[in-house]
């Protein structure tokens, strides 16, 4: 079932998304060589609580942390650990959600750890740009497949590959709702987008081949060829004449 938000729900959703955005900004301040992903998780938890919200990921479907922290060839859902110490030249994707008065925000960014090489920087840049390509000309009456196709076309034109086993999704009263929002597909396909819908659009881009491996922890998804991956996500509101990005 696809939900259309009421004005009250949307007001609380905006706050949840603002807190989600600000949590990423707070975590970014602490990303440097020598810090553990567990310490970054603590930063996110404490910040979300300080804003009067709850971590959206913690205990969701059994997930044990506030953030997903995915390093280099880890695409998404890396579990924070005190043993995972960041090193110069790595990249780390941070995915986080905040829940406020029953409504959820969801967003992700990929950050450099210290100085990174030009190849990794370009990967991060193209992943972020693919999100904005995906929302071009999207409005009420468009289709999910329009977003999917625009992301895929841009990513592949730039020499990268799109992860197909994982996708974006509706978000609102629940962290994951209908519709599914793949990052590949055909224009004009999938669910029709209507004003008042909120969805999480999240390109996951591999430097190498698109194939993935799921790790024994039941969460972490890595590139099969060991090449780096990048993740960029925002929660957006569909409007009559466009989209509003709620987590920027």
Both tokens assigned to 63: 């997930």
Average pLDDT, the chain: 97
1 within some domain: no
Name the β-bridge partners of 36: 85
Q: Tell me whether residue 203 is in a domain.
A: yes
Q: What pLDDT is recorded for position 121?
A: 98
- Between CA 207 and CA 210 the distance in angstroms is 8
* pTM, entire model: 0.97
Rounded Cα–Cα distance for residues 196 and 88 (Å): 43
Q: Which residues pair with 170 in a beta bridge?
A: 177, 199
| 88 contacts 113 by C-beta, under 8 angstroms | yes
Please report which confidence band the pLDDT of residue 26 belongs to, taking 50, 70 and 90 as the band edges. Answer: very high
Burial of 25 (0-12, 13-18, 19+ CB in 10 A): exposed
Residue 45 covered by a domain: yes
Domain at 26, CATH number = 3.90.230.10
Q: Is residue 46 pLDDT above 90, yes or no?
A: yes
Any residues with CB less than 8 A from the CB of 42 and at least 6 apart, and which?
Answer: none
Tell me, yes or no, whether 139 lies in a domain.
yes
CA angle 126, 232, 133 (to 5 degrees): 50
pLDDT at 1: 78
173 is a domain residue: yes
Whether 77 is covered by a domain: the verdict is yes
Domain count, the chain: 1
Domain that holds residue 115: 7-245
Answer whether residue 24 is part of any domain: yes
Task: Establish if 152 belongs to a structural domain.
Answer: yes
Residue 3 pLDDT > 90, yes or no?
no
pLDDT digits (tens, 9 = 90+) for 142-200: 999 999 999 999 999 999 999 999 999 999 999 999 999 999 999 999 999 999 999 99
């Amino acid at each position: 079932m696809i939900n259309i938000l009421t004005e009250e729900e949307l007001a609380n959703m905006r706050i949840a998304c603002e807190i989600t955005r600000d949590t990423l900004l707070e975590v970014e301040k602490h990303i440097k060589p020598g810090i553990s992903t567990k310490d970054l998780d603590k930063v996110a938890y404490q910040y979300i609580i300080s804003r009067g919200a709850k971590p959206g990921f913690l205990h969701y479907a059994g997930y044990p942390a506030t953030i997903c922290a995915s390093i280099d060839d880890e695409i998404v859902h890396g579990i924070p650990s005190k043993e995972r110490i960041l090193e110069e030249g790595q990249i780390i994707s941070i995915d986080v959600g905040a829940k406020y008065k029953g409504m959820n925000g969801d967003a992700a960014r990929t950050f450099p750890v210290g100085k990174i090489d030009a190849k990794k920087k370009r990967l991060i840049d193209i992943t972020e740009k693919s999100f904005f390509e995906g929302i071009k000309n999207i409005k009420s009456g468009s289709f999910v497949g329009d977003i999917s196709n625009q992301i895929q076309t841009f990513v592949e034109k730039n020499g990268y590959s799109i992860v197909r086993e994982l996708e974006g999704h509706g978000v609102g009263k629940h962290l994951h709702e209908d519709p599914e929002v793949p990052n590949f597909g055909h224009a004009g396909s999938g669910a029709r987008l209507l004003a008042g819908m909120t969805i999480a659009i999240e390109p996951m881009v591999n430097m190498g081949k698109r194939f993935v491996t799921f790790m024994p922890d039941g969460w972490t998804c890595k590139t099969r060829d060991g090449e780096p991956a990048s993740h960029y996500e925002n929660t957006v509101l569909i409007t009559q004449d466009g989209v509003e990005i709620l987590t920027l």
